[in-house]
Amino acid sequence: MKTMPIDQSQALVILASESRPHFKDREGQQPAIDRATGAHLHLVDVMFAFNGRAEVIAVKVPEPGLGKGLKVGLPVVFTGLVASAWENEINGKDRHGISLRADAVTAKAGA
C-alpha cells in the first residue's frame, strides 16, 4: 500500500471528538491493531481547515500515541500523519478510499 505524508504546517487542526477505539468489524468485537507497534488503534476526529475550506476527518492513532490533556476544541498536531489509498470488494461492489494514520496526536504548543 502506498502512503503519502501530509503537511499540516499551513492548516488549522482542531480536535472535534474524544478518541474512540477502532474495530476491524462492524459489530465492534475485533479491535484493530497497529501493524507497526502491535498497539490498539483509536480513531480521532478533527476539523482540518486549509485554504478557506474545512472538513471533519477521522485519523487512526495507536493508543500510546494519544497525547495527554486532549480536549475537544483544542488545536492539535499529528506526528507522522500519512494518507493511504485502499480498495476492496464488499458484497460484489468495488470500494475505494483514503485512510489517514498518524504515529501520535498532541495538543499544539502554545494553544
Whichever domain contains 56, its CATH number is 2.40.50
Pick the residue with more confidence: 27 or 30?
30
Could you tell me the residue range of the domain that residue 8 belongs to? 3-107
Q: What is the pLDDT of residue 111?
A: 61
Q: What is the pLDDT of residue 1?
A: 60
Cα(9)–Cα(6) distance, integer angstroms: 9
Q: What is the pLDDT of residue 28?
A: 75
Phi-psi group of 29: left, alpha or beta (phi > 0 → left; psi -120 to 50 → alpha; rest → beta): alpha
Nearest to 45 by CA among 80, 20, 82: 20
Q: Indicate the burial class of 13 (C-beta count within 10 angstroms; 0-12, 13-18, 19 or more).
A: buried
> Own/partner pairs for 87-94, CB < 8 Å, 24+ apart?
none
Q: Indicate the burial class of 78 (C-beta count within 10 angstroms; 0-12, 13-18, 19 or more).
A: buried
How many separate domains does the chain show?
Answer: 1
Cα(98)–Cα(85) distance, integer angstroms: 5
Nearest to 1 by CA among 75, 89, 100: 100
Confidence of residue 109 (pLDDT cuts 50, 70, 90): confident
